[in-house]
Amino acid sequence: MNSPIKASKTGMMSFRTKLLAAMMLVVSALTSLGLYLSQRTVAAGAERDSQQNFQAELSWLHKIQELRHAALAERCRALVAKPRIHAALEDNALDLLYPSAKDELRDLMEGDEPSPEQEAGTLNAKFYRFLDGTGAVLSPPNPKDVGNLSAGAEGQLAFKKLPGMQQIGYLSESGDVASETVDEVMVVPIFSTETGDVISALVVGFQPFEPAGQRVGAEIKSGIWLNGRLHLPALSKSAQAYLGGEITNVV
């Protein structure tokens, strides 16, 4: 028969064991919760840093593009203001337009290739064309002098009505997916010095801006979504096709 004292000690030991086990469970639970919250904090911080870096890179890309467009627009406006070009247009001496423009736009077509740091402000043109008063393309006598284009690509440059302000767009030079190239196109209206009406337009094609190599550590890859296809030279054709399919599903 157990004495009351021995039974009391046994009960006390059992209570302490249970209390210790409960405390261990609480500590374990708090430790697990702390680790979970810590991991969530680290993950949230990493995601926040990633978003901030992305926004910074995106802001930089937009700024570079704005500077580039502004520089190219200013250069094109200076070119269309040349007296020889205006004289050919306003005197309807269209046979003299491209020969006159060849000299005036020579530096635009044949200038030295800019360094990556200068590319935002200066860039050589791949081609240029003039539009007549109806918005149709004035065919050059020697396409080699103004940049070769297929008949289909040249036809895409036409307007139903001459634009009254500068416009920027993109031109697909080939319908073949494997060999298709895309050019950035700037259209600058030409106004009559006598009436102020739009009498023509200069259409200039450039290679699209590529951020690769512009800034160390930049991870943004810039592409163009045109005619239902993605054009992103930094990726392989198969990767472009896959990503283009994903974009199609979203848009």
Count of structural domains, the chain? 2
- pLDDT reported for residue 204: 92
Domain shared by 230 and 165, yes or no: no
- pLDDT reported for residue 157: 93
> Which of 200, 73, 83 has its CA nearest to residue 138?
200
- pLDDT reported for residue 117: 47
DSSP 100-127: HHHHHTHHHHHPPPPPTTTTTT---EEE
- pLDDT reported for residue 116: 47
- pLDDT reported for residue 165: 92
Residue 156: domain span: 71-215
Domain shared by 245 and 209, yes or no: no
- Is residue 23 domain-resident? no
Q: What CATH number corresponds to the domain at position 175?
A: 3.30.450.220
Domain shared by 194 and 76, yes or no: yes
- Is residue 141 domain-resident? yes
Report the amino acid identity of residue 10. T
Domain shared by 198 and 101, yes or no: yes
pLDDT along the chain (251 residues), means of 10: 53 63 67 74 74 76 81 84 88 88 79 49 79 93 88 91 91 67 90 90 86 53 73 74 75 70
